[in-house]
Structure 1
Amino acid sequence: MALFGFIGVGNMGYPLLRAAIRCFGEEQVTFFDVSLQQRNKVTEDTGIPCAKDNIAVVNNCKYLVLVVKPQYFTDVLKQIKDYVKEDHVIISIAAGITIDTIKSELYGSIRIVRAMPNTPAMVLQGMTGVSYSKNDFSGDELETLDRFFLSYGKYEVFDERLMNAVICANGSSPAYVYMFIEALADSVVSYGIPRDKAYILAAQTVLGAATMVLETGEHPGKLKDNVCSPGGTTIAAVKALEEHGLRNAVMKATDACYEKAVFLTNTNK
């Protein structure tokens, strides 16, 4: 009997599976994925044999991690519902699917953790928003969940009503950051900096700036002010960003992301 079972090991599931292996050991992890190519890749990379099917995963784990796209989620729940037991802990990564919706497809007594990680989990720098009722879990179970979510980065616990906003803040936002890095690199390539070095300059600067926010505890606005010397190059650039609507563009992106998350939530009720 493994500790963790994964249904779905794609772009998000695979980093979580690898983190579970590092944290708990190979013998404590099992998995299945609908893609034969992905199943073979994971087995080749990790040495862990793939389970026969989703039901085999359920029957051979305690913590069942469902990394399934929302459009396929209900079908998977219907497939496994007769095999999920009260001692299982379900960890759902599906955007827009609530704990109550999952319980309605399974059985009301099932314990469920709703989580929204992000792809930087691949390099152990993930950020996960988590929602669950602590009273539903034993001390040992809470400790295991804590170890799992810390095994690939950081996490924070939220009331479930905020999970759609969490998706905006961490689930989707790496894409915006990549776009910023790409745009910044493109802009200095135009002045003659080689592209490979431009990406390093931009990416390391983003990493360093983010680390400053996390480690100093200073407000981002103050850290920004510290870079802006009076009459200098940075304040000229910040003025241009304000004139061209950087803040508004980010907020509009968040609005679009949030509206889509709400739509998925309402669709999957």
Structure 2
Amino acid sequence: MDFEDIGRRGLVLLGCGRMGGAMLSGWIAGGLPAGSVTVLDPNPPRQVADLGVRLNAELPSDPAAAVVAVKPQMMEHALPSLKPLGGGRTLVLSVAAGVPLQRFESELGAGTPVVRIMPNTPAAIGRGISALVANGAAGEAGVAVAERLMAAVGETVRLDDERQMDAVTAVSGSGPAYVFHLIETMAAAGEAQGLPADMALRLARATVAGAGALAVESGEEPAELRRAVTSPGGTTAAALEVLMDDSSGFGPLLRRAVAAAARRSRELGQ
């Protein structure tokens, strides 16, 4: 199913905040007719109405897909509005963190095809990555549609098991915040060494962005890239001796952080 097929039957977007808005912009830029999209949001961003979508209009009778992009705590109020679309031909996609497939099946009816998705915030600039897992009713066809839709805002990966979603949440879902904090701390460390605050922040931002782009585009393993910048006995080696300490370095610290995020994701899903 391509955007032309989805456009014929229509698509429902429940929630048009930062993530929903990023997806909507990507879909329209990718060729999905704006008039085929029904956006349901009590407080939509002002620019959404200017896109030409059907805003807070009546649900189409048989849309190809319904995308749930509300916060998990809003799910209790949001899902009943989609009940007329459950149990049939409409594919339901959820980007709500911590809400399992079973919740959608119980709320919308047995046989509802559901794909659960964990995107991340770089989707707002088309550089996100989304992990997908589907129930049996969605099958290969449903996952393919979900991949097509999420490709509008970045890369996609398929999971073998829904239980992997907690780890995905901890690595890529929450991961941008870890990187933003790295930029903060690098800038603060540069300032502590005598750099002006604005220059330290500019250096830290550009370094993290450039290193990330190099890691993606070079095709080399991160360890190889690290070794390529590290001269024996040099400045980078001195820093890495601290960062790679087995007990107090970056590795054990990040493992604890990711484990804490995964544990919280499991708690939210219960």
TM-score tier by shorter-chain length is: 0.7 to 0.9
RMSD over aligned CA atoms reads 2.4
Structure 1 residue 33 displacement after superposition: 1.4
Q: State how 1:94-133 maps to structure 2 within 5 Å.
A: 94-132=96-134
Q: State how 1:36-185 maps to structure 2 within 5 Å.
A: 38-44=44-50, 46-52=51-57, 56-57=58-59, 59=61, 61-84=63-86, 86-132=88-134, 136-137=138-139, 143-159=144-160, 160-185=162-187
Give percent identity, aligned residues only. Answer: 31
Q: Aligned with 2:35: secondary structure?
A: helix
Q: State how 1:197-208 maps to structure 2 within 5 Å.
A: 197-208=199-210
Inter-partner Cα distance in structure 2 for 1:245 and 1:18: 41
Structure 1 window deviating more from structure 2 (62-71 vs 113-122): it is 62-71
Q: Which residue of 2 aligns with 1:220?
A: 222
- Given the alignment, which residue of 8, 15, 18 partners 1:11? 18
1:238 to 2:269 alignment:
no
Q: Retained in 2: the 8 A contact 1:39–1:50? A: no
- Given the alignment, which residue of 25, 32, 39 partners 1:31? 39
Distance 1:182 1:58, change over 3 A: farther
Structure 1 window deviating more from structure 2 (108-117 vs 183-192): it is 183-192
Distance 1:25 1:213, change over 3 A: same
Q: Which amino acid aligns with 2:215?
A: V
Structure 1 residue 57 displacement after superposition: 4.2
Q: Retained in 1: the 8 A contact 2:99–2:269? A: yes
Task: Identify unmatched segments of 5+ residues in structure 2.
Answer: 1-7
Q: Retained in 2: the 8 A contact 1:70–1:94? A: yes
Size of the aligned set, in residue pairs, is 259
Q: Retained in 1: the 8 A contact 2:115–2:138? A: no
Q: Please give the per-residue CA displacement for 1:234-267, whole angstroms capped at 9, x wherever unaligned.
A: 011111223443222211111111111111112x
Structure 1 residue 207 displacement after superposition: 2.4
* TM-score normalised by structure 2 residue count: 0.86
Distance 1:80 1:30, change over 3 A: closer
Q: Which amino acid aligns with 1:260?
A: R
Distance 1:7 1:60, change over 3 A: farther
Q: Which amino acid aligns with 1:33?
A: D
Inter-partner Cα distance in structure 1 for 2:35 and 2:146: 18
Q: Retained in 2: the 8 A contact 1:33–1:39? A: no
Structure 1 residue 226 displacement after superposition: 1.5
Q: Which residue of 1 aligns with 2:231?
A: 229
Inter-partner Cα distance in structure 2 for 1:196 and 1:125: 26
Inter-partner Cα distance in structure 2 for 1:170 and 1:227: 25
Structure 1 residue 100 displacement after superposition: 1.8
Structure 1 residue 215 displacement after superposition: 3.1
Q: Which amino acid aligns with 1:230?
A: P
Structure 1 residue 58 displacement after superposition: 5.8
Q: Retained in 1: the 8 A contact 2:133–2:143? A: no
Q: Which residue of 1 aligns with 2:267?
A: 263
Q: Aligned with 1:82: secondary structure?
A: helix
Q: Aligned with 1:97: secondary structure?
A: coil
